[in-house]
Structure 1
């Protein structure tokens, strides 16, 4: 196996980076200020564009470029099949949610994702250094356009089978998402997300043994120890999400940022209660109640996301962690309340000291 530092240096040379650290493209928590700060410190910034309109994607890219000459990735979810609607279940969910927030309108479950084709066109027009995927693989027609523009494609995977499929489809690098990661699980099959929740340091060496493209480790990495361990286990780079959320550039709510700093690994949980897709959040009263046997099952994504929208908005306005969708990974407590430039400098210095 190539020595870890040499592998990381080759990755940086290939993708124009100063350090092998990517900012996770966290939809709803990746302002251009955060991405630009990561890029200015030598890493790769990121936009999670799930919730971004085509104009929003263009505006974000322009705002990033006004702050940095570095690179960034734009990430899109691969769409799920249309959800199967269950009016009785949705009615039970509305009744359950009424006790946690404002009344839920009957039409709340009609919420639909943005048009994927329009988003893809906007991403290509923005011309990022990297386009990444999660929840599956881009269709060949989109991949052809990505490759024709000389844009690299990074595919997020959560299992060996997904990694093999991504490499076969032509991924330039593979983001290996461990079960420790905050936010939504990237499982290609949404129904298997919890059952296939493999820890990063079990999954990473298996993929390193089987795949030939560079691997980017993500999930539970927030300091130099995690970076060094990931590189030793076969990664060429790491991707950090929760570890950046306490920085001022992340601009998340004070309540969420404070809670991240107090959250032990066992204080997070996987839940479908907020969106209908499995995601790791700081456990609060609502997510715990939704996990009880007498609570209604979550509706599928994006129906559940629409149903919980009134509660989530009220919780955000009140800074109420018991009801807030507060995504966080299991290493949340390691996140530092410092500017991104300091975080980047410190964690890479820690990692390189351990890898000498």
Structure 2
């Protein structure tokens, strides 16, 4: 059934970003990081965000140019904040031996550790600064004061990921413009950065968002478990100024993920997600599959990110080509069972139905 398009509601963060609706595409790196999806969300009145953590500076700039060819609306870029330096080789040989049988099953060469484990974060940041995007968000840490100052001087809205109140306060101290409160329900990598105990930072969105809204004097973007009008309405009622939606967009027509990925999200397997380190070396939530279950012994001993991520890269790429979801990192949140096959415009229409005057964020001043 067609729903009439609602007029945009007053919202300071949306106004700052010059978007019609406070509905953001969650940044999803890797297979999902494609220009058509980002542009489609922006064209529908939200804020498309490119998850560029795995992109080289040249590819990042080329993708930004492609997005601009598809939309004249604002969009953002997200990066992983990675400290430079030597990467530990602990656990590499053992994990390579464990991966060998999966490579053999997929008919690809035995696993090797590539010479280059990750993209150069400083070069990625220079590319973002030169591109002049509307928004920049980040996860895994905090950019340098010089980078934050340069972004803000260029008129970029800077948003950082927090999984705890302490992290939100730390982000405010570093001068960000908004805090993305990532609840435990969220798909993909956990953004925890103040502690190595990610389990202690697994706070549900419903509990986290109002605490963060009370703790900082910044707009809060709710992330995790939001996939339809009900989630949007709940997040705004809890004090969020905007919502960040990821998993629900993965099964849309414009999404660039594989058919095997989309079929998993819209099937019964999506009811079973878990947080794992075995694909990348950092805790991330995805649909449980054979690889996660059989590699459970490596949850503690897997090499740290980005080493494990580099080790499993060839396996994941081959699995995507061959339509083998049992070997894919099927990042998805706990709202995955709400996924449906539709266009971005149709999903945005559904999400917009959660916006109403009574659901605007309840700020301190309004209490």
Q: Structure 2 residue aligned with 1:272, among 273, 277, 288?
A: 277
Q: Structure 2 residue aligned with 1:341, among 337, 340, 345?
A: 345
Q: Structure 2 residue aligned with 1:97, among 86, 96, 99?
A: 99
Aligned-residue offset at 1:325: 0.9
**1:23 aligns to 2:25 (yes or no):** yes
Q: What is aligned with 1:297?
A: 301
Distance 1:340 1:354 in 2: 25
Q: Structure 2 residue aligned with 1:209, among 214, 226, 232?
A: 214
Distance 1:67 1:156 in 2: 27
Structure 1 segments, 4+ long, off by >3 Å, are 5-8, 80-84, 102-107, 263-266, 350-356
**1:134 aligns to 2:166 (yes or no):** no
**Quick check: 1:228–1:354 contact (8 Å CA) kept in 2?**
no
**Quick check: 1:22–1:238 contact (8 Å CA) kept in 2?**
yes
Aligned-residue offset at 1:349: 1.6
> Residue 76 and residue 226 in structure 1: after superposition, are their counterparts in 2 closer, same or farther (change >3 A)?
same
Consecutive unaligned residues of structure 2, counting only runs of 5 or more, are 1-6, 361-367
> Residue 220 and residue 8 in structure 1: after superposition, are their counterparts in 2 closer, same or farther (change >3 A)?
farther
Q: What is aligned with 2:72?
A: 69
Task: Give CA deviations for 1:241-262 in whole Å, capped at 9, x if unaligned.
Answer: 0010111111211111011112
Distance 1:318 1:354 in 2: 48
Q: Structure 2 residue aligned with 1:78, among 76, 81, 90?
A: 81
**Quick check: 2:264–2:270 contact (8 Å CA) kept in 1?**
no
**1:257 aligns to 2:259 (yes or no):** no
Aligned-residue offset at 1:14: 2.2
Q: Structure 2 residue aligned with 1:44, among 36, 42, 47?
A: 47
**Quick check: 1:8–1:236 contact (8 Å CA) kept in 2?**
no
Distance 1:325 1:271 in 2: 10
Q: What TM-score do you get using the length of structure 1 for normalisation?
A: 0.92
Distance 1:137 1:105 in 2: 36
> Residue 334 and residue 216 in structure 1: after superposition, are their counterparts in 2 closer, same or farther (change >3 A)?
same
Q: What is aligned with 2:3?
A: none
Larger deviation, residues 254-263 vs 176-185? 254-263
Distance 2:246 2:151 in 1: 25
Distance 1:107 1:20 in 2: 44
SS of alignment partner, residue 248 of structure 1: coil
Q: What is aligned with 1:122?
A: 127
Distance 2:23 2:244 in 1: 6
Aligned length: 350
Q: Structure 2 residue aligned with 1:194, among 173, 186, 199?
A: 199
Task: Give CA deviations for 1:209-242 in whole Å, capped at 9, x if unaligned.
Answer: 1111000001110001000000000000001000
SS of alignment partner, residue 131 of structure 1: strand
Aligned-residue offset at 1:9: 2.2
Alpha-carbon RMSD: 2.3
Distance 1:340 1:299 in 2: 37
SS of alignment partner, residue 113 of structure 2: helix
